[in-house]
Structure 1
Amino acid sequence: MTAKPRGVAIFSGGSAANNLVDVFKEVTEGKNRPLSYVIPISDNGGSSSELIRVFGGPGRLVRLIPGNGEDPEKAAILAFFNHRLPKDSEAARHEWLDIVEARAPLWNNISSPKKELIRSFLNLLNLEIVKRARPSSVFNFSSASTGNMFLTGARLFSGSFESSIYLLSSICRVPDNVSVLPAINTSFTHHISAGLENGTVITGQNSISHPSVPTALEATSTETEDHDSIEDANLPGSLPTLRKQYISFSKSEEEELPCRIERLWYINPYGQEIRLNANSKVLDALAAAQCIIYSIGSLYTSIIPSLILRGVGDAVASPSIKYKILILNSTLDRETGPSTNPYTATDFIAAISRACSYSRGLVGPVAKDGFRKYVTHLIHLAGPGTPVVDKEELAGLGIECIRVYGRSSENGGLLMYDEKGLVQALEAVIGKGGLAGERSRRNTLEK
């Protein structure tokens, strides 16, 4: 009897990681390797923030669903779930009504049975939006994702975020070997805070990741009373900053943080630090993995929220996981600055190691010779704006570096990963088909 191949578990970032779905599909396709995406649920920016504010639970769109252009209906369904409403709130509201009433062109090429199934959950959500409308609290449809809206409607119906993801995966005919796993198994939202090296605390993912004045945990009694007068899904007395709308924000014009982020933790609605258990299905996926990949994305708000959960650090540190690969971001951002003290590749690895160590209940910094417990390989680009990689230092720590040649982005010349080159690099590490003898250590693709 042939042993079941060990899988690949991916700690997925935000929108940036969505661009690598086809890469991970190709690495596992035809090899029958289980492929698991672990997604954080602490997002409180964009349309997710409005769903969290009004409905008090995760509403993240599962954009990590492999698709293809060969099946017109599947292509139409994927386009439907990836669609976003207009930025103008009034235009967005009108388009939402057209979708709910099945008058929008988005429904073209979707069969009637699937259309009515999808529409039933959107109608349920729409009813809840109308029921909860108050003069002081009106739902803002601006830039809302139809996938987010469907997931929220399905969660409200079933009472389970996992069930809503399963339903979406079934409708989209996701392959049996692919699973999308929320880092925490919950129907409620969980928020994060970050502590800076100067002692400042910033609350909420959006405030950490995107331009804003650092928000302290303390809120004035007047602010709290004002928010408590609004009848909504939030617990009385919960932090006002967690109830604000964060529909519009900039990811390009970022105000730098005054110093580096020191650590990240989860908080309850009143701002107190809490320790949370990881979804048991995530731990099962890690236990069955031959390889884990830290994908590109915001380090502290997309990757680390999954790593600091109880059980994850021990699972990642297990020697049964042979390959622990960090795909290094091609640029630095607000979370990995400031420009006077930018993160190097070693700093990225140190942050991941600290997060996994925190998950294990270990206090204090991680010695550099312990980094290899959590990262064994680094895949990176080299060029203007990319983080500095000290290959000799990392080699001394037992971490192998693989450089891939990227391509310039369309807007400004920043380097981006080339899909073919990244596939070659990943297969150089884990081997084609998982066979130890099939390796190519040199990736010569350059564009």
Structure 2
Amino acid sequence: MASNKPKGIVVFSGGSAANNLVDVFKAVREDKKCQLSYVIPISDNGGSSSELIRVFGGPGIGDVRSRLVRLIPDDPDHDDSEKAAIKIFFNHRLPKDQGAARQEWMQIVDASHSLWTNISTAKKELMRAILNSVNFEILKRMRPSSTFDFSGASIGNLFLTGARLFTGSFESAIYLLSSICSVPNHTSVLPAINTNFTHHISAGLANGTIITGQNSISHPSETTALDTTPLTAHEDTERHDLIEDANLPGTLPTLRKQYINFSKTDEDDLPARIERLWYINPYGQEIRLAANPAVLAALGQAQAIIYSIGSLYTSLIPSLILKGVGAAVANPSIKYKILILNSTNDRETGPSSSPFSALDFVGAIAKACAESQSISPSREVGKEEYCNYVTHVVHLTGPGTPAVEREALKQIGIETIKVYGRRGEGEGFTRYDEKGLVQALEVTMGRRDPRKDKVRRNTLEG
């Protein structure tokens, strides 16, 4: 018996960049009246997540947390002070000074902090129970060689970690935070891998260089390890083995250090292009991992896939190379596979002397999806295969935007849709206009006649 339930939309994305488009995806979902699923990677080992991973192990949860909190509904017709307070609470970060951070943390767990204002007693005591639980786990793990550093810690990340440790289930922790945040049932946030373990990535450059750990790939930061005395690799490993943390003895030191302080705006070029990305075990050896079954189920019921803006190799590729994903994406029953091209190139899609074009972005996605299905990571992917994984490219135009080879893409069966963007005050790059992007996605997915939409002229050029 055929189901009348409309097929869903699956969005592959990372954290902060795609958070800016949540209202766009919400509008498209409402237009389609279907399920919306966000697939989020769990390989981030930078920022306050690095300290949670060092002490507790487990997945990188920052992007999952930020998407759940971003999905807290806004109702302009009602004054919902509790939802606003919860959003502020879970987005709050402790001070960068370690002493001040610990002091503020204690004010939060003993309920004397002003962040609790406007949060109902029932939710407050549930949230406090989880935070006190993770605080107890921090105290249990305290050793002379290893104490938890609260500097810049995200309260939402601490909560999600506490819920995972309390329930023993990452999936349950997401369900709890999703419930507290009142995320609608028609929208789900799915970690690319459903795991209680830490999984790291490495990237291989065209010049043969291998970079280990997402933080080092995406935005290298100041290392804040307990002792920064220069040592040989062997001595460095032995020194870290004396520290009691969540890492196995012999784990690569670069995966055990704290990377609390970093900047996403002050980035140096990579010495060469990234050619491939893969998962590694704690000793740096390549491993192949299966995707979260819930992700494969969402793809199996999808009418459209959207690759959102964000870091190509650390936000999109870690989800696409997982076993099962490539075959699910290639399913011809999924008619629309839409890449929203970044408005500018970053560290991962450079260097500046050889920036990625639209065809390069599409090629990287196709290669990752093909690798997901293949035992051999070195298999070449012909351009004629690209349309199995990307059918449409939505892009901006203007200074600094990636080049778009319209004719070359058309020849291999990929359509391009140009959207006129806007420049924010003081910004050196073009942003997508929300109305224009919604229109582009709706037109691409075959629902609306653009001549009937009341949007400003020349927003869209097919």
TM-score by length of 2: 0.91
| Separation in 1, partners of 2:148, 2:432 | 38
Show the counterpart of 2:173: 164
Give me the whole-angstrom Cα distance separating, in 2, the residues matched to 1:445 and 1:167: 44
> Which residue of the other structure, out of 358, 370, 392, is the alignment partner of 1:357?
370
| 1:197 pairs with one of 181, 189, 206 | 206
Q: Which moved more, 1:229-238 or 1:402-411?
A: 402-411
1:117 aligns with 2:126: yes
Distance 1:30 1:120, change over 3 A: farther
The DSSP-based 3-state class of the residue aligned with 1:148 is: helix
Shift of 1:219: 7.2
Any gaps of 5 or more consecutive residues in structure 2? 223-230
Per mean C-alpha deviation after superposition, the further-off stretch among 37-46 and 78-87 is 78-87
Q: 1:408 aligns with which of 423, 448, 455?
A: 423
Q: Read off the aligned partner of 2:195 and give its amino acid letter.
A: T
Deviation of 1:64 (Å): 2.0
In the alignment, what sits opposite 2:227?
Answer: none
Shift of residue 237 of structure 1?
0.7
Residue identity in the other structure for 2:40: I
Question: Partner residue of 1:287?
Answer: 300
**Between Structure 1 and Structure 2, how many residues are aligned?**
438
- Tell me if 1:15 matches 2:16: yes
8 Å contact 1:211–1:253 — kept in the other structure? no
Shift of 1:2: 6.5
Contact 1:429–1:439, Cα closer than 8 Å, also in 2: no
The DSSP-based 3-state class of the residue aligned with 1:64 is helix
Aligned partner of 2:67 among 60, 64, 67 = 64
Partner of 2:44: 43
User: Structure 2 CA distance, aligned partners of 1:402 and 1:103?
Assistant: 52
With over 3 angstroms needed to count, the CA separation of the structure-2 counterparts of 1:93 and 1:283, relative to structure 1, is: same
Q: Say whether residues 1:376 and 2:391 are aligned partners.
A: yes
Amino acid at match of 1:168: L
Contact persistence 1:210–1:251 (CA under 8 A): yes
Partner of 1:393: 408
Of 338, 356, 378, the residue aligned with 1:343 is 356
* Structure 1 residues 252 and 115, CA gap change in structure 2 (3 angstroms): same
What is the CA-CA distance between 1:96 and the residue it aligns to?
Answer: 1.4
Matched-pair contact (CA < 8 Å) for 2:221–2:259: no
Contact between 2:15 and 2:66, CA under 8 Å: does it hold in 1? Answer: no
Residue in structure 2 matching 1:439, options 446, 449, 453? 449
Q: Which moved more, 1:84-93 or 1:297-306?
A: 84-93
CA deviation profile, 1:386-431 (whole Å, cap 9, x unmatched): 1111111111111111111111133333111121111111111113
Percent identity over the alignment?
67
Report the AA paired with residue 220 of structure 2. P
1:367 Cα deviation from its structure 2 partner: 0.8
Compared with structure 1, are the counterparts of its residues 116 and 428 closer, same or farther at alpha carbon in structure 2 (3 Å cutoff)?
same
CA RMSD of aligned residues (A): 1.9
Q: Superposition pairs for residues 311-326 of structure 1, below 5 Å?
A: 311-326=324-339
| CA shift for structure 1 position 90 | 2.3
Alignment partner of 1:277 out of 290, 301, 305: 290
- The aligned residue for residue 113 of structure 2 is 104
The runs of at least 4 consecutive aligned structure 1 residues that moved more than 4 Å come to none
Query: 1:206 matched to which residue of 2?
Result: 215
**1:75-94 residue CA offsets vs partner (Å, 9 max, x unmatched):** 22122112222222222222
Residue 151 (structure 1) aligned with residue 152 (structure 2): no
Look up the SS of the partner of 1:157 in the other structure. helix
Amino acid at match of 1:440: P
Letter in 2 for 1:189: T
1:28-82 CA distance string (max 9 Å, x none)? 1264300001010000011111111110012334222322143221222122112
Aligned partner of 2:268 among 252, 255, 264 = 255
Q: Which amino acid aligns with 2:355?
A: P
Shift of 1:366: 1.1
Q: Deviations over 1:332-361 (max 9, x none)?
A: 111000011110011000000010011011
Distance 1:49 1:173, change over 3 A: same
SS of residue paired to 2:65? coil
Q: Hey, what's the Cα distance between the residues in 1 that align with 2:183 and 2:221?
A: 38
Query: Which among 253, 268, 279 is matched to residue 266 of structure 1?
Result: 279
Taking the aligned partners of 1:275 and 1:208, their CA distance within structure 2 comes to 19
Amino acid at match of 1:13: G
Contact 2:11 2:307 in 1 (8 A): yes
Alignment partners' CA distance in 2, 1:28 and 1:391: 28
CA deviation after TM superposition for structure 1 residue 131, in Å: 1.7
> Tell me, which stretches of 5 or more residues in structure 1 are unaligned?
433-437
In 1, distance between residues paired with 2:399 and 2:96?
33
Cα contact 2:15–2:67 (8 A) shared by 1: no
Q: How far apart in 1 are the matches of 2:381 and 2:118?
A: 54
Task: Pick which of 158-167 and 62-71 moved more.
Answer: 62-71
Q: In the aligned structure 1, how far is the partner of 2:337 from the partner of 2:97?
A: 43
Asked whether the 8 Å contact 1:27–1:426 carries over to 2, the reply is: yes
Aligned partner of residue 450 in structure 2, secondary structure:
coil
Q: Aligned residue for 2:226?
A: none
Check whether the contact 1:260–1:336 (CA below 8 A) recurs between aligned residues: yes
Following the alignment from structure 2 to structure 1, what is the Cα–Cα distance between the partners of residues 195 and 257?
22
- Determine the structure 2 residue equivalent to 1:241: 254
Contact 2:138 2:148 in 1 (8 A): yes
Please give the alpha-carbon distance, in whole angstroms, between the structure 2 residues aligned to 1:271 and 1:313.
24
Question: Distance in 2 between the 1:428 and 1:140 partners?
Answer: 49
Contact 2:358 2:404 in 1 (8 A): yes
- Per the TM alignment, residue 212 of structure 1 is displaced from its structure 2 partner at its CA by 6.0
